Amino acid sequence: MKLIPEIQAAHGEIQTLRRTIHAHPELRYEERQTSDLVAKSLSDWGIEVHRGLGKTGVVGVLKRGSSARSIGLRADMDALPIQELNGFEHRSQHDGKMHACGHDGHTAMLLGAARHLAKYGEFDGTIVFIFQPAEEGGAGARAMIEDGLFTKFPVDAVFGIHNWPGMPTGHFGVTEGPIMASSNEFRIEITGVGSHAALPHNGRDPVFTAVQIANGLQSIITRNKKPLDTAVLSITQIHAGDAVNVVPDRAWIGGTVRTFTTETLDLIETRMRKIVENTADAYDCSVKITFLRNYPPTVNSSEEARFAASVMKEIVGAENVNDAVEPTMGAEDFSFMLLAKPGCYAFLGNGTGGHRDAGHGAGPCMLHNASYDFNDELLPIGSTYWVKLAQKFLAPM
């Protein structure tokens, strides 16, 4: 593994920043203390700082030479509404809030890179360090873009990375094309006519109708979608009634749809609406369907994915880089940045949990788990990746 010596030497400083952030988690659009820490660190290192994009976002700008080329490097800062089970020293000090997805580590890795590039970096162009709020359900990437991120700080390409539990520590995963799915949710409200359960013919049963709709929706995946077009339609909620001898007036169904392409998503939504409306009509019930498109699929551009993979291989060796990693049906709002600019999102192996300090929770070290902790061994690896990526992208012509 070819890590930058100065970054390795600064590991203790960056680890302290990471653990400070972990101990003081803040939810989406509340990242004020985290933003203050990021802004102060960047400013102390002589990096130009801009605040307020996406409410609590921070942007650092570092320019050298005369080239007009520029690169964006993005880390997310927000935590999750989870009660941490870990008991080690840097556990969350805020009840009901926890860095259970590693955004503390993502922020620290980018800070480590910013520190090195400000002190030692040789490149020709501009590096835009993007510290983003509200990835966890708040579409902070979109909010920063709407506040002028790429008009005020134009970049030729943008890159992001996420730690990945289960992948060996220090291994990278990347692929051309889709790497994460779109995230969408639906709610189907069915209204019938209530009746005594012993006299169901006097009513119009919304529960029976909900069951028929639920069954019908699965036909979209098996009979309407092309088998090679990956998609998930999961019904996760069915709510109705509160008595065993009463057919209620109303029922509702909720769930999620995940796809790797907008075309497949369009097909699923269109078919859902037709099945829902016609099924309800068949059983003399009325229906309302709400379909929300939250995050689009995260799709890497080919050139940038290959470029990122080449940098990864220089650092950890080709045998430790999977440049055709299997995409996940999870979602990520970095997708909005990839709609605006070419770029690449990648995974960095977080191991299986053996790195955790004594006193960790009994659960697995998985994302969104109350026993999770970021692996600090990744800090110099991630920072080295960011530095070499930026310097190679902005190498003097």
Q: Which residues contact 176 (CB under 8 A, 6 or more apart)?
A: 300, 301, 302, 305, 306
Q: Is 123 helix (H, G, I), strand (E, B) or coil?
A: coil
Give yes or no for residue 152 having a pLDDT over 90. yes
CA 154 to chain centre: 22
pLDDT, tens digit, 9 for 90 and up, residues 358-370: 999 999 999 999 9
Give yes or no for residue 114 having a pLDDT over 80. yes
pLDDT of residue 336: 98
Rounded distance between C-alpha atoms, residue 108 and residue 170, angstroms: 16
Mean pLDDT of the chain: 97
pLDDT of residue 123: 98
Sole residue written with tokens 């970095």: 334
* Interval 310-322 mean pLDDT: 98
pLDDT of residue 277: 98
Nearest to 372 by CA among 181, 139, 90: 90
Instruction: Report DSSP letters for 293-336, one per residue.
Output: EEE--EEE-HHHHHHHHHHHHHHH-GGGEETTPPPBS---THHH
Name the maximum alpha-carbon separation found in the chain: 82
Sole residue written with tokens 């639920």: 214
* Interval 218-230 mean pLDDT: 95
pLDDT of residue 258: 98
Rounded distance between C-alpha atoms, residue 205 and residue 207, angstroms: 6
Give yes or no for residue 60 having a pLDDT over 80. yes
- Taking the alpha carbons at both ends of the chain, their separation in whole angstroms is 27
Share of the chain above pLDDT 90, in %: 99
DSSP state letter for 249: S
pLDDT of residue 344: 98
* Interval 364-378 mean pLDDT: 98
Give yes or no for residue 397 having a pLDDT over 90. no
Rounded distance between C-alpha atoms, residue 320 and residue 179, angstroms: 18
Structural domains for the chain: 5-179+297-393 (3.40.630.10), 183-295 (3.30.70.360)
pTM for this predicted structure: 0.95
